[in-house]
Each structure stands twice: as C-alpha cells, then as structure tokens.
Amino acid sequence: MAAKQIFNIPYIGINRYFGTDLLIGSGGECSVVLKITNPVTRFSAASAAYDEFHALMINIVKIMGDGYLLQKSDVISKEKYPLKDSPEYLQQKYNAHFEGREFIQVNTYITLTKQVRKGAFYVFDKKALRDFSQQINKVMDILIAGKTGPVVLKEAQLNLLIMQFLAMDFKPQHISLNNFSPNDTEIRMGDRAIRSIPLINIDNVDLPPTVSTHIEMTDKDTLRGFPVDFLSFLFRVPDFEVIVFNQVIDIPNQFMTIKKLELKKKRHSGIPDPANTLCVEDIDLLLNDVARESQLLVNSHFTIILAAQQDKIQKAANFIESALFSLGIMASKNGYNQLELFRCALPGNSIELKDYDWFLTTCDAAVCFFFKESMPLDEPSDFLVRFTDRQGVPIGIDVADLPMRNNRINNRNKFVLGPSGSGKSFFMNSLIEQYMLYNMDMVIVDTGHSYSGLCSYYNGKYITYTDKKPITMNPFQIKKEEFNIEKKDFLSTLVGLLWKGADGIFSQVERDVISNVINSYFVHFFSQPVADEIPEKLAGEKLFIAQLDFNSFYEFALWKIPEIKQEERIPFDVDEFRYVLKKFYKGGEFAPILNEPADESLFTERFIVFEIDAVKENRVLFPIVTLIIMDVFIQKMRFRSSRRKTLVVEEAWKAIASPLMAGYLLYLYKTVRKFWGEAIVVTQELGDIIGNAVVKDSILNNSDTICLLDQTKFKDNYGAIASVLSINETERKKIFSINQLENTEGRGRFKEVYIRRGAVGEVYGVEVSLHQYLTFSTEKPEKSALEVYFGHFGSYQRALDLFVDDFHASKLALGQFVSHINQNDKPFLNHSHEDNPDPSFPIAHTAV
C-alpha cells in the first residue's frame, strides 16, 4: 500500500552524448528537449503563417520516421507585470501604472524521444545515439529555417523544467513541490487542483468532419474572417493559473499499420451491419488518402492539463469543454486516469501512454490540432518605444533603427492617419515623449495646441504666430560654401510660392528665370568687394548688395529680370512679379517675415513647437510660414549633426501639398535621411490622401512606416485608401480589428493603433498613466486645470503630482474635479503640499 503512495520520477538521469544533453527515461528511451517560439504571433491575421508552421511540423515528423515520438508542450501561464526602473519621471509613472497587471505568456517545448523496442531489454548502442544526434541536427535546421528560434536545453534547464511541470508552476524561481492527491476527476495539490482533459475519446470519436490549420473569428462583422489558432480559446479560459497543452505524435511502422487497417476492414466487411459499413468506408477513405497523397499515418494524443484553485477549476474546465464542443470536439468523459495523463505530459514521458490513449489518423490531420500561436515579445534593440500588446501589457518595439538594419524599411519617415476622436494626438504625444528619452531634437508644426503639455514638461519653446510677433527667417543669409544646388532649388521654390501661391502654376520658363536670378544674386554678392573697399561712386548703385536678405534680392531681381528677358527674348510678367512680391519687401505688410533672422537659440533647443493655428486660414501666409519652419528644421539638422532629429507636421502639411512644392518635399525627405532624422506627417481627413498626387509621390512614397488609428469610419471607402497605402487583405483584417477585441477588462482608457513598418504591420494599444494622460490631454478644461497647478507651484512635475494627489483625495470623477479647479482658479486643497511627493495611484482610473 505504501508503494502506491510514492510518485516515482520516470527518469534515470541526464547524460551528455555527442554534445547534447539527453534525458534518459526509466525504460532506456532517450529524449532531447528544445525550447522554441511558435512562429505565428497572436492576432497577426496571417493565414499563410499557420499553413507554413503546419508544413514545418509535418516535415519534422517525416524526418524523424518510425520509432520516434514527437511531443509538443505549450505552456500558457499567467504572470504579473513587474515594476521596472526608469530615471525619467513620466516613464516612472508609466511603469507604476502597469505594475502587478496580470498577463499571459506562452512557452513552447518540443521533445524528441527515441523509443526502445517494446518487449526488448535496453542495450546501450552508441551508433543509435549517433543517428539520433544526426536526426536532431536535421530537426534543428528545419526549426531555424522556420524562424522558431530553437534552443537545446542543457542539464540545469532540463532539471528546472521538470520541476516546473511537477509543480505546475512555471515562474523562473521559488518553485515548491506539493503532495499529489489524485481522484477520478483531478489531482489535488494543496489548495490547487490539476485536471487533465483528453480531447479525444477513442470509444466514441467526436471530431469535426474536416479540420484546418486555423479557424476564423465570427464574433463581429468587423472581425469576420480574422484567422486565429484552432485552440485560441485557451487564452480566454477564466480563472486558470497554468494550462499545458500536451500534443504527442507516435510514428509507427507504416507497412504494419496499413496491414492492420486492411485486416480490420476485412473483419468489418464480413458482417453486414450499418456501423460496420460506415467503418469500412472510413478505412477506405483513409487508405485512399494515404495512397493518393502519400500521407503518413500516425498515432496522436492531445490533452489539455489545467491548473487552478480548487474552487475555480470547475468553471475553467466547463469553459474548455464548451469551447471544444463549439469546435465539434466532444472532450473525453473517461479521463479517470488523471495521474497517468499528468505523468505522460512530463517532457519525454509520453512513452507511458497506453493504447487506449492513442488515436490513429493522418499526420496532416493530427498536426492541425497543434497549437501554433505565441505572444509578442520585446524586439532586440536599444531604441525601443513602448505601447501595449493586445492583452494590455507594455511591449517594446523599434520603429526606426532595427527595421532599417534588417531592410524592413528604407527610411524612418512616418505617415499617421486617424479621424477625429481616434486617439491620434495621444498616440503622437506618447511616441514623442518616448523619442525624447533618446538623443533626440524635436520640432513640431501644430495647428491645434496638441503638444503644449509636453512642451511645458520639457521646458521647451512654444512659438505662436501673431501679427505683432510673426515667425521669421532670412533664408538668403548663407555662407559661400552653403550655396549649392539644393539651396538654390529651395529658394526657387520659396520665390515661386511667394509669387504664385501654394496652388499656383510655376511654368518652366518662370522657374528657370528665377533660378538664374538667384544664382546671379549670390555670385554677384560673393564676388563684389567688401564694404569698406567699395568706392563711394559704387556704394549707391543697385548692383551693390549691402546684405543678403529678401529686400536686396527683390531689388536685384527687378534689375536682373528685364535684362534676362531682353537678352533671351522670352515672356515674363515683371509687373506682376513686382506687385505680388512687394508685400514682402520693406514697408510691405509681411516685410519682417523674410528679412529678419530666425531666433538662433532654436538651433540648440531640444523641444520646439510652432503653433500656427492663427494663420491656417490665410492662404498667403500659411504655406510660407510652414516652409519657413521646415527650413529652420533643415538648418537645425545641419547644425546638430550628432543628434537624432524629428520633424512632426500636423495638418499644416496640407499647406504645401501642391505640385509647386513637390520638389521641395522630395528634397526635405532626402535631407532628413542624410542627417539621422525623420519626418512625421499627421492627418485626419480621408480626402487628404485620396486623389492627391503630391501626397502619394512626395510623402507616402518616402514614408516606409504607416500608422493608422481607428479606420471604422472609412470602411465603406477603404478600397481607395488601401490602394494608395498598398494595403493587402491580411493587413486590412488587422486594421479593422482595431478597438474591436474584447480586451478592455482590468485596463485603463486606451485606443489602439496599427503600425506598419515596411510591408507588415501590427496593432498595439496606447495606454498611459494618469500623469501622462494629463500631460497629453487636448481637452481645454483639463489643460486649464493643470495650468492652475503649474502656475501655483512652478514645477510641472510637482504640479502633476499634486494634481493627481488632490484628484484622488477629492473622490470626484475627473470631469467634476477639473470643473471645480477651473471655477475656483486655485488648487483643490489649500494646505501646504510637501515637496516632491510621489503618491501611488490606482492601476485603472475608471473615473477618467
């Protein structure tokens, strides 16, 4: 009786042969355990990826051949997000926001077992082990080619893994074993229970008539046709702690197996009975598939092993059985051998499976039941920005350097499209805040005060255009070595813009004349004597250029153009040119804009926002001011060559998206790449990108990263967008899954964004802490309330801390709290706040 109470470990030990650590079973069978990553990322919408992994596993089975067992163990476990350290204030708040949040991770192991012939004594055979080692190398090559990242486990890792299986606890440390108390339905381990649910009852096989490598979602119209794993419901099992999906394939001798089937067919056909007739037909179909398509026959076994608290395991098990039933699978009700099924799930111990645990089918069909999905992981890069994966925990992605290194993209530029209310501003604020963690200079052209909070946080320069203080520059003030073809083209474009307007037509003759004048202007200036060497009689002549600015260029052009016109005998409307450009000349309405130099401190400032909302309706100034700012950015790129640089252009880009500006836009994108920078264009209108050749040729063709917010509003017209953005059907499925999943439980407010780098995109969540929300907010009342605290306490960080502290103390909803602050124009609490408080705050701010 005492012997029955002992759980014998089914291993002799671990030995190293031919450079590989082998797990030796108690019957002499030897196994190697590989850790892999399932190559299909969850919610990747890639139907082909499921098919490719299916084909990969079939190839492994065929390479191993008879006499081997292939065991695939997918471990789905729940972990808590740890508190990560950061030297930066807002990132500290971000980390604290997610601390302790529960998330699911998937670890996958493949165990290859060389069986010992049944009924024979084990005899050490060095040649057999050498052959096994060669088979392992072949399998490794296949797995590497399939991008599964296989790693052969060493002795210490094998010991840890076996302990984790025995404890059904897959945390990396602090593993403790407990007593097993098995009964007919489960195994008790302290206050936990372990239940094994076999997928197939061989006494009454209830399986769907056909199976595929994946299934498609049918939950919502927007998700219809979205591919997911056949057993994707395992991610949604309620109240589980660990799920192990044990998948085993035994490769029998094909000749003997077919012979047995044919004998079985003869036995059934000899007795006239409807059940026997059906059995004969099934065997015929199976043998025909084997003969016609060279299918491999295998014995298969599938068991879901569930670990949960004893009072919760029944609910979890009911969910699994119900989900299986919806797939056409009637889970076995005869799983009385709970301890036996649990033991057989241990790596390399599937050899203990009994005949009644196996199900004969084709290899193609068996592998359809294999689990194929994995969760996304941080990318291997030192330039990571963090958004959340679709279960709601931060994940680091590289949107610039890594995809450039692996040729996924050819430039770092981005195009962002999202309708109003889709979370576009929050996404951009989140991206910019994280960009600023690196060696980054930021220049933003805005028309809606979307970045005033971040600018205050970084103590940057917030420049607003007014009539009394316009944004100015002197684009003509350059050194001799700076005058090149690119600068000449820019100035030609600028003069054309001043003369013709953004939507005007600049003829080839006019462009050539202006280019000639610009060239002559600088040649004349750089070749004339210096000021103190000029004879008095020349000092007053128009040919003398006292200084480089628009005033002197205008004067020179009015002298030079008639000369060119007479010499070349070409038409050129000098009077129109003089009259239209006169308003930018001294004494004119816009004289300061092109004659006063830009603020030189802009070239060293890290964070600059140009707010030009005041001129966005002015058809004359809007494109000119936008162009001026872009030139300031280009000068800044040259001046700060050792730093990363980003230009963000919100709706202002529309001011220069015209045929006249197409050449300059191409020049801008070319220069940005050359100087370790990137340009991000942001828009919200569907009409902005459809039918606009400049957008397609100058912006989209030079933006290898596309960021799309909720596109539901555009669904009926999405064919046009898909054509312009080169979106295929797989990517379209991802896009229309934005904000459509049932993944809001236990999370704060968030919106999802699709980020396509190169040809393939992924969907991420933009979820931030309350401190970041207040910094990023574009809501005027919230911005005003925070400004009250900022004005009262001086430091932006301190104002944020005290605002959040008072908000929680008030017990009000955020809208009520904000209204109270704005009405009273003072902080909520009048008592003296301590310096530098660091209050904790809830993970999910439902009041927000």
CATH number of the domain that residue 420 is part of: 3.40.50.300
DSSP code, position 695: I
**For residue 347, is it within any domain?**
yes
Model pLDDT, residue 122 = 60
Model pLDDT, residue 578 = 95
| Judgement on whether residues 170 and 315 belong to the same structural domain of the protein | yes
| Judgement on whether residues 115 and 15 belong to the same structural domain of the protein | yes
Phi-psi region of 28 (alpha: psi -120 to 50; beta: other; left: phi over 0): left
Q: How many domains does the chain have?
A: 4
Nearest to 391 by CA among 846, 847, 767, 811: 767
**For residue 692, is it within any domain?**
yes
Of 528, 563, 592, which marks where a domain is finished? 592
**For residue 290, is it within any domain?**
no
Phi, psi of 103 (to 5 degrees): -145, 165
- Tell me the DSSP string of 299-359: EEEEEEEEEEETTTHHHHHHHHHHHHHHTT----S----HHHHHHHTSTT-GGG--GGG-E
| Judgement on whether residues 317 and 357 belong to the same structural domain of the protein | yes
Q: Are strands 394-397 and 461-464 parallel, antiparallel or unpaired?
A: unpaired
Three-state SS letters, 153-165: CCHHHHHHHHHHH
Q: Exposed, middle or buried: residue 347 (CB in 10 Å: 0-12, 13-18, 19+)? A: buried
Please give the single-letter amino acid code of residue 326. S
Model pLDDT, residue 204 = 67
| Judgement on whether residues 199 and 337 belong to the same structural domain of the protein | yes
Q: Return the number of other C-beta atoms located less than 10 Å from residue 607's C-beta.
A: 21
Model pLDDT, residue 847 = 32
| Judgement on whether residues 763 and 639 belong to the same structural domain of the protein | yes
**For residue 270, is it within any domain?**
no
Do the Cβ atoms of 835 and 801 come closer than 8 Å?
A: no
Model pLDDT, residue 693 = 77
Q: Return the number of other C-beta atoms located less than 10 Å from residue 123's C-beta.
A: 8
Query: Residue 41 pairs with which residues in a beta bridge?
Result: 374
Q: pTM (2 decimals)?
A: 0.88
Tokens 């008095």, located at residue: 536
Please give the single-letter amino acid code of residue 776. F
Tokens 């990242």, located at residue: 149
Model pLDDT, residue 472 = 83
| Judgement on whether residues 24 and 129 belong to the same structural domain of the protein | yes
| Judgement on whether residues 682 and 747 belong to the same structural domain of the protein | yes
Model pLDDT, residue 252 = 87
What tokens appear for 78 in the block?
Answer: 């729940």
Model pLDDT, residue 95 = 96
> Which residue ranges in the chain fall short of pLDDT 50?
1-2, 534-540, 831, 833-848
| Judgement on whether residues 441 and 460 belong to the same structural domain of the protein | yes
Please give the single-letter amino acid code of residue 37. T
**For residue 277, is it within any domain?**
no
**For residue 265, is it within any domain?**
no
DSSP code, position 692: -
**For residue 268, is it within any domain?**
no
| Judgement on whether residues 626 and 734 belong to the same structural domain of the protein | yes
| Judgement on whether residues 445 and 401 belong to the same structural domain of the protein | yes
Of 558, 592, 626, which marks where a domain is finished? 592
What tokens appear for 264 in the block?
Answer: 């079985």
Distances 623 to 463, 493, 616 between C-alpha atoms, Å: 17, 11, 9
Model pLDDT, residue 745 = 87
Distances 454 to 322, 450, 459, 708 between C-alpha atoms, Å: 49, 9, 8, 22
Tokens 């980054």, located at residue: 440
Nearest to 828 by CA among 814, 843, 840: 814
Distances 821 to 319, 409, 594 between C-alpha atoms, Å: 48, 47, 43
- Tell me the DSSP string of 696-727: IIIIGGG--EEEE---GGGGGGHHHHHHHHT-
| Judgement on whether residues 517 and 450 belong to the same structural domain of the protein | no
Residue 847 belongs to what domain range? 779-848
Of 323, 351, 374, which marks where a domain is finished? 374
Q: Return the number of other C-beta atoms located less than 10 Å from residue 304's C-beta.
A: 25
**For residue 706, is it within any domain?**
yes
Model pLDDT, residue 550 = 94
| Judgement on whether residues 137 and 177 belong to the same structural domain of the protein | yes
What tokens appear for 9 in the block?
Answer: 């470990």
